Copies of this chain bind each other. A is one copy, B any other.
Amino acid sequence: MASDARRAGRRSGNPEPYTLASLVEVAARAFNERGYDATSMEDLSRAAGITKSSFYHHVAGKEALLRAALDRALDGLFGILGEPGAVDGEPLERLRHIVRRQVEVLATELPYVTLLLRLRGNTETERWALARRREFDQAVAGLVAAAVDAGAVRPDVHPVVAARLLSGTVNSLIEWYRPGRVPLADLVDAVDRQVFEGLRR
C-alpha cells in the first residue's frame, strides 16, 4: 500500500505523496538492512526518493522514526493480549490463541517486528522498547505457568524455560519467513502444532 501511494505520488507529480506511515516503513527496512547507527537521514531521504527537508516536514528525526516503527510492532503484539481469545478460557487455549496471533502479527508487521527483535539497547528508545518487549514475554510466561498449574501441560515442563523456547520458536520466523512462500494460515497451524503437539507422531 505504502509503495503504491509512493508510485502514485511520483506519477502525479504531487509534491507530498508521503504519509508518515510510508516513511516509517522505509526507515524500518533501512534500519534492518544497515543497522540504526549506520543509517543517516540522508540515506533515508534517498531511499524514500524525497529531499531531506520534505522528510523533516513529516518527522522530527531518526529517533522519532525508530520510535514510530517500534510502536507499530509493540501495538501489534500488545493488541493480541487484549483479544477475547487471550483473555477468556483455559490458560492453554489462551496461550494457543496468543501464539497463533503472534505468528500473524510477525508475518504482517515483519519489518517492524524484525527491528524490535534485533534491538541491542544502545539508545533510550531502544531500551524503552526492550522493556516493553520483556513485559510482553512476561505475560506469555505467566500464562505458561498458569497452564502448568492447571495441569494442561506436561508435568516435567519448567515454565520459564518453556516460555523462552516458545518465544524463540515464534520469533525465529523473522529469520526466514518471507510473505508468499508458505500460506500464512498453514504457517500458523504449523507453529501451533509444533509448539503444543511436538514433532513425534
Contacts and interface: CB of A to CB of B under 8 A. Distances in A.
A83 to B, nearest CB: 20
Majority SS at the chain A contact face: helix
Interface stretch (A19-27, A42-50, A171-179): A171-179
Interface string A179-201: 00010001101110111111111
Contacts of A193: 154, 156-157, 198
Most buried by B among A154, A155, A186: A154
B190 A154 contact: no
Interface residues of A, number: 40
A125 interface: no
Given A92-B200, A198-B198, A199-B157, A172 B182 contact: no
B154 A197 contact: yes
Given A168-B172, A169-B169, A154 B196 contact: no
